[in-house]
Amino acid sequence: MSQTSPTRTASSVPPAAQVTPAAQYHGDLLELLVEMRRALKARGESLPPTWPEEAEGELRAKRMLGWVLEPRGERRGLAVLAVRNGRGFGQIHFSGGPQELPGAMEMVRAVDTHRPPGMRRIDLAVSADPEETESAWGKLLDAPDPKLTFTVVHRRAMVRKLDPSLPPPAETLPERFRFVPALALGPALLASIDFPSFVGGPDEAMVAETPEDNERLLRGLLEGDLGAPLREASAAVVLEEESSEGPKGHLVGFSLCLEENPHSALLADIAVLPKYRKQGIGKAILARSLRGLVALGFTEARLWVTEANTGALKLYERAGFTTERLGRILRWTAPRAS
Ligand SMILES: CC(C)(COP(=O)(O)OP(=O)(O)OC[C@H]1O[C@@H](n2cnc3c(N)ncnc32)[C@H](O)[C@@H]1OP(=O)(O)O)[C@@H](O)C(=O)NCCC(=O)NCCS
């Protein structure tokens, strides 16, 4: 009896809580956020340099939610979730060996369990290092888990090398369509076609839930939230129509390219209104953007696309993009009221 009781006592004691809400975390949150940004940058993802300080302020003020994974005093992970108007966007990052993944799953459960009330949708990007941990975690997440209410959205990071001696050929637009620079149009006009282009499609959740949110998102991008917007590589297409006041242009599509670093640019957005698709306009916008990037001296273009967005995927593959890595987003959507 005396030999067995210590074991029994140990197993009946719940494991020390590994996941601490960020607002109650006594360690250095800023350092954690800086580490998270560095890990994401190393994966080719863009986060502005001011992000760690801003996020720390938001976490301390509880406008952003966060969870720190620290088993036995060793920092292993961080989940952050920015919440606004019933929408949550965030990142869950884990560093450690594949054998420590139960801790990472505890972080997922913490977000799932402590979802703020009144949410409509949460998107949580998953990342881990080293890479073998990320793929092992991905397999764990892909397996159905009745205890979790998240679903997994598969995403692809794609890249296309740009060679100044071999720019992609220019594509001509159908008659009466012409190019104009996209950045001069401003967020309201761009949102007026961005939102209807994405609604109902597989990447719908990546833009915004309302036209107003979409406009806010575009305004942030145009103001450089994720990198300086590139004028020469962000192209819009208008359809020329005769009106009583003379020729008038209707915006039908555009692209938005941002500088990630002096070598690499991000195709942050490309959209063509449904009515004008399948005429080669998307292909022409993409070619124009890539040629603009070559002219600006960039040596690679990158983008993210959802696996299910097969049309966009085909467009990118035909333009020479290849898959660099696969990524996952954990998505929770409020059940519809019946
Ligand atoms: C992705 C998107 C920009 C493509 O725009 P698009 O103008 O339809 O693109 P294109 O016309 O150049 O090419 C698309 C298809 O039309 C076909 N096409 C091109 N010219 C054509 C023509 N003259 N007649 C018939 N089909 C034609 C292409 O072959 C291609 O079809 P396929 O790849 O199935 O063979 C558009 O579908 C969109 O806005 N989607 C929603 C937003 C989105 O998801 N963006 C990507 C986010 S990552």
Judged by average pLDDT, the poorest of 173-182, 197-206, 247-256, 304-313 is 197-206
In angstroms, the CA 225 to CA 48 distance is 6
CATH of domain 16-149: 3.40.630.30
Q: Is the pLDDT of residue 54 over 50?
A: yes
Chain-centre distance for alpha carbon 88: 12
| Nearest residue to 29 (alpha-carbon basis) of 51, 14, 47, 12 | 51
Sheet strands (E) in 57-129:
64-69, 77-84, 87-95, 121-129
Summarize the confidence of residues 127-145 as an average pLDDT. Answer: 93
Q: Is the pLDDT of residue 17 over 70?
A: no
Å from CA of 165 to ligand 1 middle: 27
Q: How confident is the model at residue 267 (pLDDT cuts 50, 70, 90)?
A: very high
Q: Ligand 1 within 6 A of 121 CB?
A: no
Q: How confident is the model at residue 8 (pLDDT cuts 50, 70, 90)?
A: very low
* pLDDT tens per residue, range 198-211: 998 888 877 777 89
Domain-wise residue ranges, the chain: 16-149, 161-324
In angstroms, the CA 248 to CA 170 distance is 25
Which tokens hold the place of 43?
A: 């994966």
Mutate which of 194, 199, 278 to test ligand 1's pocket (most atoms within 8 Å of Cβ)? 278
The reply to whether 161-324 shares the fold of 16-149 is yes
pTM of model > 0.75? yes
Contact 206, 160 (CB under 8 A): no
Q: What is the pLDDT of residue 1?
A: 32
* Average pLDDT value for the chain: 89
Chain-centre distance for alpha carbon 213: 15
* pLDDT tens per residue, range 56-106: 999 988 889 999 999 888 889 999 998 887 888 899 999 999 999 999 999
Residue 147 CB neighbour total at 10 angstroms: 9
Q: Is 169 helix (H, G, I), strand (E, B) or coil?
A: coil
So what's the architecture of 161-324 in CATH? 3-Layer(aba) Sandwich (3.40)
Q: What is the pLDDT of residue 83?
A: 87
Summarize the confidence of residues 152-164 as an average pLDDT. Answer: 96
Å from CA of 278 to ligand 1 middle: 5
Summarize the confidence of residues 145-153 as an average pLDDT. Answer: 89
Specify the residue for token string 């590994």. 18
Summarize the confidence of residues 257-274 as an average pLDDT. Answer: 95
Contact 286, 255 (CB under 8 A): yes
Q: What is the pLDDT of residue 337?
A: 63
| Nearest residue to 237 (alpha-carbon basis) of 282, 268, 269 | 282
Q: What is the pLDDT of residue 62?
A: 85
Contact 280, 171 (CB under 8 A): yes
Q: Is the pLDDT of residue 258 over 80?
A: yes
